[in-house]
Structure formats: C-alpha cells, structure tokens
Amino acid sequence: MLDAAVHAALASAVGEDNIVSDPVGLRSYECDGLTGFRQVPGLVVLPLDTAGVAAAARVCHQHGVPFVARGAGTGLSGGALPVADGVVISLQRLRRVLEVDPVDRRAVLQPGVTNLDITKAAAPFGLYYAPDPSSQQVCTIGGNVAENSGGAHCLKYGFTTNHVLELTVVLPDGEVVTLGGDTAEQLGPDLRGVFIGSEGTLGIACEITVRLLRVPQTVRTLLADFPSVTEAGEVVSDIVAAGIVPAAVEMMDNLAIQAAEQAVGAGYTLETPAALVVELDGPAAECGEQFEQVKAICERHGCTRLHIAGDAAERAKIWKGRKAAFAAVGRISPDYIVQDGVVPRTRLAEVLGRIEDMGRAAGLRVANVFHAGDGNLHPLVLFDESAGELDRAEQLSKEIAELCVELGGSLSGEHGIGTDKACSMPTMFSRDDLATMDRVRSAFDPAGLCNPGKLLPTPRLCGEAPGRYRPHPLEEAGVIERL
C-alpha cells in the first residue's frame, strides 16, 4: 500500500485524472509479456508530457519510492515488472510524433509512439524506421530504446542503438538531461550508448530522435524449405561466407511452421522440417545478382521447395507468418516460454541439435523461430502449467540460455535480461564486470530507485527462492481472490 502523502504528491504532479489507484485497474500493470512474474504496483501514473514524468520521478525520489517505466508492456524478460508498493510511470499518453524531417532524415518522437507508427509517419517521404521487432504494431520506441530492440532486418541495418541520435532523459531524481546529439559523432563518452539497452534502470527516455532510412529501390524475398535445420543452418553460413549481407535471414523449424501456418495461412509447407525466409534489398541490379547466388546456395543444400514472393502482397504474407509465430505457438501448446539467446552463426546447427536433446530429456517440446543471420535464437519451450510442467520448463529455458553462453554467445540477443535472467548474469560476466556495471548504474541512480532488481543480479533475489507468482491453494479453490 502506497503512503497517502506520496499519492497526494503524485496527484499534484500529474493530476488525479492521470493516476490509476483502484485495485482492478492496477492489475492491468502487474506483468509484461513474461507473465510468470507478477506484482501489482502501489500506484500507476500516466503523465502527459516530459515535465509530468520529471515531476513524478522527483516525487518518488523525495519519498524514497521505487518506480518502473512502462511502455506497451510487451517485454519478454520481466523488465517492466512493478516493484511491490512502488510506482509505475506509464508512457502510454506520450504518443506524439513531434517532427519528421525528410531533409535530414530524422524523426523526433515521444516515448509512447509505437515502432510501426514511426514508419507510417515517415512513409509519405519515401522513408522508414529500420529496426522492426515482431511486436512492432504495439511496442513503443521508449521500450525499444530501453531494450536495444532488434528485429528481422537488424542483420543488415543494426539494432536500435544504431538508429538513435539523441535522447531527452528524465534522470531518477527528476533532472532532465540530453544525451547524444543531432550529429552521428559526438565528443566525449557515449552516454547515449550507455543508456540504450539499460532496461529502464538509468532513467526515463522522454524524447527520442531517430534516423530514418530511404525505402530501398528493390526488395526480393524467398521462402525455402529444407530437409533439416542442419541444412538450413548451413545455408545461412554459406550466404554470409559468400559476402552477401541479406536484409533478413529468418529460420523456423517444423513446430513453429505448423503453428504459424495454422494461425495465418502464410503458405508455408506444413510437413517441412525447416524453412528459411531470406530477403535481399538495395539497388535492382545488385539485388538481382545476389538473389541468384542465394537460390543456388539453397539448391546446393537440398532445398525441397523454393517460393519467391511475386509482389508486395505475397511478401507481406510470408512475413505475416514469421511475425505471428510467437503468438501462434499458443495454438499448439497451452503455455510457452520465449527464450532469447545468441550463438556464433557457425554453431547454429550444433546448438539446435543440443536443444532438441535437452527438450527430449526434459520431456518437453521446443519450437524454434529466430533471426538466423544474427545467430539470435528464440527457442519456445512448450509446456502445460495445469499438468505441473512449469518448473521443468523454466529450468529447461534457463539451461538453453546458459548453453548459448557456453558456446561463445550471449544470454540475450534483444529481449533483455530484466527480472528473468538477472541471476544468470554471472555465467557471462565476471564479478568485476558486474561491479563496474553497478557503479555506472549508481552514477545515474545513487538511491537505487529506478527499476530496482532488474538486469543486474542482487544477492538477495538471486540467493533466495525466486519471487514468481504461485496461486495460493485457497485461491485455486476459489475461496479467495487476488486483487
């Protein structure tokens, strides 16, 4: 329960109309896309502008109350999980595109603007915003900045950090600062770069200037089926070894294909063990020549069907299947965990084989749909909570992430560490590395109020029983109800 004095101070900072305090309303904010972790916040504020965000942060700072920034809540690592008796600062009401400058090719955005709305605003000028998370219809640019989000086309164009020039940030004590600048190269330490990917632990991004790219002259997309994920993995390595940088190379295994096909009818082959979506873009001549090379590589590796998108509608259909794949997995399993890890591209076939073995040993199915060009895996661990499989699924998911580190990769490619993987950070970073990160964080947030418990391991949380929500037996029996 939040102190009445804090509620009153927040109400005078942002207006009572922009506060959620009723128990049912607060429940909407209890988790993000990683629904296994839940915590109802003490209060939610929805400021209307940067000044409102700063005023809310100042109140929290003055009263020593922890707070968590929230965009659309699509995060998959528990980054926006509230803190008990803490405040959620939602950026949902800051959703204006402030400026599109077609000459300098940049846009200035409030943090609640959705990723896709940036491209919609840029489209009349023949421009677009390149990073394209599969959640782009709903996730916000503020969340993208916090997670350094990627997407299918980040293989060629880079992640969020490669496209953000300047940030107006509310620091954890309410001070407003500018990080980065209008030009790509800035003097001094790159604090803009430090902030991007810091998962809401260093402050709240309130104005974001991004680069826009010119829509490519030509786009060619193919869907290729393979007898196994090994052959598909070899195609990915050979494409890159040939010096081709595709706009995207995405892989799906049979389980993911079945789910996606059932959900959206994208024209995938239901029986195929593996499929690749390869997209090339750029000048027509270059694109055409490289496309022939890619086709030859696919054929060399036993491609069983090669479908080339004939027009924009067919291309959109292929992508619809890929982008809907996470959600579609709900059709073939009552519950699933989306894992996110990276391996060197050359070890894709090996890691997929080991994941299959681990799944078999755990008695669980694992579907794979991922950014193959980056080696960025998204194993989806399928389970049935009502059959008591949750703990096994969580354990398997954790072991898969740690396997990625063992193979020379990373705990996360784009979904972040959040609450979910904070305790695994020591498998990737030394004690000194973690202490250094903690000192950077303390420089921004000496009081430790901004999204505490996320990203970096805390001995208390990592040493004790995890704080996942488990229904009380009385709640399961319908005797009591959580509010």
Ligand X SMILES: Cc1cc2nc3c(=O)[nH]c(=O)nc-3n(C[C@H](O)[C@H](O)[C@H](O)COP(=O)(O)OP(=O)(O)OC[C@H]3O[C@@H](n4cnc5c(N)ncnc54)[C@H](O)[C@@H]3O)c2cc1C
In the window 42-71, what residues touch ligand X (CB under 6 A)? 68-71
User: Total residues contacting ligand X (rule CB under 6 A)?
Assistant: 37
Q: Assess 74 for contact with ligand X (CB under 6 A).
A: yes
Q: Assess 73 for contact with ligand X (CB under 6 A).
A: yes
Q: Assess 82 for contact with ligand X (CB under 6 A).
A: no
How far is residue 363's CA from residue 398's CA, in Å, rounded to a whole number? 15
Q: Assess 140 for contact with ligand X (CB under 6 A).
A: yes
Q: What is the DSSP string of 364-392?
A: --EEEEEEGGGTEE-EEEEE-GGGT-HHH
Q: Minimal distance in Å, beta carbon 277 to ligand X?
A: 13
Nearest Cα residue to 413 out of 379, 443, 363: 379
Q: Assess 142 for contact with ligand X (CB under 6 A).
A: yes
How far is residue 39's CA from residue 139's CA, in Å, rounded to a whole number? 21
Q: Assess 368 for contact with ligand X (CB under 6 A).
A: no
Q: Assess 135 for contact with ligand X (CB under 6 A).
A: yes
Q: What is the DSSP string of 15-78?
A: -GGGEE-SHHHHHTTS--S-TTS---BSEEE--SSHHHHHHHHHHHHHHT--EEEESSS--SSS
Query: Would you say 205 or 303 has its CB closer to ligand X?
Result: 205
Q: Which residues contact 445 (CB under 8 A, 6 or more apart)?
A: 171, 172, 201, 202, 203
319 touches 277 (CB < 8 A): yes
Whose CB is nearest to ligand X?
143
Helix axes 4-14, 50-63, angle to 10 degrees: 160
Q: Assess 149 for contact with ligand X (CB under 6 A).
A: yes
Of residues 39, 50, 144, 237, which one binds ligand X by CB under 6 A? 144
Of residues 200, 246, 341, 359, which one binds ligand X by CB under 6 A? 200
Q: Assess 79 for contact with ligand X (CB under 6 A).
A: yes
Q: Minimal distance in Å, beta carbon 398 to ligand X?
A: 19
Q: Minimal distance in Å, beta carbon 143 to ligand X?
A: 2
Of residues 32, 117, 225, 250, which one binds ligand X by CB under 6 A? 32
Query: Would you say 237 or 451 has its CB closer to ligand X?
Result: 451
Q: Assess 419 for contact with ligand X (CB under 6 A).
A: no
Q: Assess 37 for contact with ligand X (CB under 6 A).
A: no
Q: Minimal distance in Å, beta carbon 207 to ligand X?
A: 10
**Residue 398's Cα: distance from chain center in Å?**
17
**Token digits for 229?**
């994920």
Q: Assess 150 for contact with ligand X (CB under 6 A).
A: yes
How far is residue 423's CA from residue 412's CA, in Å, rounded to a whole number? 13
Using DSSP's 3-state secondary structure scheme, residue 224 falls into: strand
> Is the four-CA dihedral 278, 284, 287, 290 of positive or negative sign?
positive
Q: Assess 180 for contact with ligand X (CB under 6 A).
A: no
Of residues 55, 59, 60, 72, which one binds ligand X by CB under 6 A? 72
Give the Å distances, CA to CA, from 148 to 94, 296, 416, 433: 20, 35, 8, 20
Q: In one letter, which amino acid is 16?
A: E
What is the contact surface with ligand X in residues (CB under 6 A)? 32-33, 68-76, 79-80, 91, 111, 133-135, 139-140, 142-144, 146-147, 149-151, 199-200, 204-205, 326-327, 414-415, 451
